Amino acid sequence: MGICIFINVPYSYSQDNKLQSFTPKELWADNNGVHINAHGGGVLFDNGKYYWFGEHKIAGPKGNRAHVGVHCYSSTDLYNWKDEGIALSVAPEGSGSDIEKGCILERPKVVYNEKTNKYVMWFHLELKGQGYKAARSGVAVSDNVIGPYTFIRSGRPNPGIWPMNVTEEEKKSIDMSDKKAPLRVLNKYIETGQMARDMTIFVDDDQKAYHIYASEENGTTQIAELTDDYLSHTGKYVRVFPKRYMEAAAVFKRNGKYYFIGSDCTGWKPNAARSAVASSIWGPWEELGNPCRGKDSNITFEGQSTYVLKVQHGRPDSYIFMADVWRPDNAIDGRYIWLPITFKNDKPIIQWKKEWNF
C-alpha cells in the first residue's frame, strides 16, 4: 500500500476547519489529513455528491505502476474530500489477470448508466511486463458508486472495423511498405483492434457515451461510440486530429458545442495545452490553440490535462479544468491543478490563479 503524507497546507479554512478555496499545485488534504491520491482522474456527480476517481500511487518511481488500484473520494463542495477507499483493486501477483499488480492502469473515468443502473469504469491498461505495447482499454462495473468495481475485460477497440471517415479510395491506396504512409498504422491494427492509450469517457445529453483515446502510436485521436450499456463499442468511430500527436484528452459540452482540451506527447515533461471545438462529437474539429494564460502557460502551469468538470449544485455555466503535475521520481507526490474555465468569443480560457474559490 502507499505511504501516508500528513500535511499542513496554506488553504483558506472556515471556522469549522473546512477548506474554502482551491490552491493549485499545493498538497491537498483529505478528511484524514492525507494528500489526495487520485491521479489522472475524473469526477462523477451523483445524487448530490461529487466522486473523484483516480490512480492510486505509491512512493518512488515504481509507484507509477498499479500496485493498489483506483482510489475514490467524495465531496459536496469540491473543496473538502472524504476518502472512500479503493474502488477497483488490482488482482494479486501471479493471478494472471489483465489487471494483475504491477500492470499500468491509467486515467480511470466513471460514468453512470441510466438504463442499467450500473456505474461503469473505463481506463487505459498496459499488461504487466509489456511496457506500453498492449495499448488496451479496460472496463469494470459496480452497483454502487464507490465500488467495489468488478473488472470485466480489456482489449483494443473495434477489431475488424474501419473508421466511418475513411473512404474506400483511401483504404485501397494504403502502402504498407512505406512506414510513413498515411493510414499505415491504422491498417496495421484493423484486425486486432485499434491502439488505445490516454483516454476519457464523455456522456452526451441523450445518454450516448463515447470513448476518446490516443491511437495509432499516439499520432491520431479516435472517438468511438459505446453500446447502450457502456460496456463495449458499437463499431462506430472516427479519426480526428490526424498526425497531431494528442494525448490527455478532456472533453465537455457547452451551449451545444463540443470542446476538447489535450496536450502534445512529451512523456512526463509538460507542454502547451491544446484546445478545439466542434458542432458534432464526430467533428470536424477546429483547433483553437493554447487556452492557458499566465505564468507557465506555455507548459500548462507544469501540468497536463485529465478532465473538465461541469460544476453542479446551482452553478450554471461553470467548468473546472483538472490537470496533474506528474512527479515520476516520486509518484505519490503528484500534485493537482484545478482552475476555472472562462469563455471569450466561445473560446475556453484558463487563467492561472494561485488561490481561488467560487
Residue 243 has pLDDT above 60, yes or no: yes
Q: What is the mean pLDDT of residues 342-346?
A: 96
Q: What is the mean pLDDT of residues 124-148?
A: 98
pLDDT of residue 315: 86
Q: By mean pLDDT, which of 100-104, 179-183, 227-231 is the weakest?
A: 179-183
pLDDT of residue 2: 44
Q: By mean pLDDT, which of 152-156, 180-184, 319-323, 327-331 is the weakest?
A: 180-184
pLDDT of residue 180: 86
Model confidence over 11-70: pLDDT tens digits? 555 557 899 999 999 999 999 999 999 999 999 999 999 999 999 999 999 999 999 999
Q: Which CATH number fits domain 29-155: 3.20.20.140, 2.115.10.20, 3.40.50.300, 3.40.605.10?
A: 2.115.10.20
Model confidence over 198-213: pLDDT tens digits? 999 999 999 999 999 9
Would you place residue 128 in the very low, low, confident or very high pLDDT band (cuts 50, 70, 90)? very high
pLDDT of residue 3: 44
Query: What mean pLDDT is reported for the chain?
Result: 95
Which conformational region is residue 6 in: left (phi greater than 0), alpha (psi within -120 to 50 degrees), or beta? beta
pTM of the model: 0.95
| Percent of the chain with pLDDT strictly greater than 90 | 93
Q: What is the mean pLDDT of residues 125-133?
A: 97
Model confidence over 314-328: pLDDT tens digits? 888 999 999 999 999
- Boundaries of every domain in the chain: 29-155
Residue 7 has pLDDT above 80, yes or no: no
Q: What is the mean pLDDT of residues 81-101?
A: 98
pLDDT of residue 313: 81
Q: What is the mean pLDDT of residues 234-250?
A: 98
